[in-house]
Amino acid sequence: METRHITVITAGLGVPSSSRLLADQLAAAASRELSSAGYTAEVDIVELRDLAVDIANNFVTGYAAPRLAEVLAGVAAADGIIAVSPVFSASYSGLFKSFVDILDPGSMDGKAVLLGATGGSDRHQMVLDYAMRPLFTYLRTRITPTAVFAGPQDWGNDGGGGSPLSARTERAAAEFAEMLAAAPRRAMKSSGGHLQDLESLPFEQLLAGISGGRTA
């Protein structure tokens, strides 16, 4: 079975964190969908809370500590990203944005992304479409049509028949898995002791590169 590598980025600050809970649900649903389609899911969960000091130091020094460098390499190598942030001041958290700011600008090109957010009121769910989606569009990712917001009323309210959160999660995970199944697998090779991403590019991008390399 082919493997699809998923990196889950969660910016929750508490323990336990509702953002982590939502991220776990999305990852589990995506893994089930991929399994049904004949793929194996390899999931790596990154809690940005544990990297906060390294992220701040990276801004000051321009150097990523070994633990942070490993995470950044994992994001670049992943086939897909599940990104979940709590809502602060009507937007994603500063920690979440800080991590995105230190990503290699080209490392997210064409990558499948599933977005999630958590907050204290349903009014915050607009963050998904008015803050997070534009951010990942700027990074030139492929974002699932369905994004998932979870508020206080969504936790512990399954009732045995499936909650609205479960339905949203399953729909988003199915869209995400479809993107991952359709995309060529990101191959890896070693070069000078470092891993490099050998993503297969779309035909249009390859053609543009060939045309750009011609001389008169």
**Is residue 194 one of the residues assigned to a domain?**
no
What is Dmax (Cα atoms) for the chain? 69
**Is residue 207 one of the residues assigned to a domain?**
no
How far from 91 is each of 20, 40, 96, 133, CA to CA, in Å? 18, 34, 10, 11
Measured between alpha carbons, how far is 169 from 199 in angstroms, rounded to an integer?
28
Measured between alpha carbons, how far is 108 from 76 in angstroms, rounded to an integer?
7
The count of domains in the chain is 1
Q: Which two tokens stand for residue 162?
A: 């499936």
Average pLDDT of the chain? 85
Q: Which two tokens stand for residue 67?
A: 């633990």
**Is residue 133 one of the residues assigned to a domain?**
yes
Residue 203: the pLDDT is 43
**Is residue 205 one of the residues assigned to a domain?**
no
Q: Which two tokens stand for residue 64?
A: 């990523």
From the list 131, 133, 71, the residue with the least C-alpha distance to 107 is: 71
pTM, rounded to two decimals: 0.83
Tell me the per-residue pLDDT of 102-122, one tens digit each, with 9 for 90 and over.
Answer: 999 899 999 999 999 999 877
Tell me the per-residue pLDDT of 144-153, one tens digit each, with 9 for 90 and over.
Answer: 999 999 988 8
Question: Nearest 5°: phi and psi at 188?
Answer: -125, 145
Q: State the CATH number of the domain containing residue 96.
A: 3.40.50.360
Measured between alpha carbons, how far is 152 from 198 in angstroms, rounded to an integer?
42
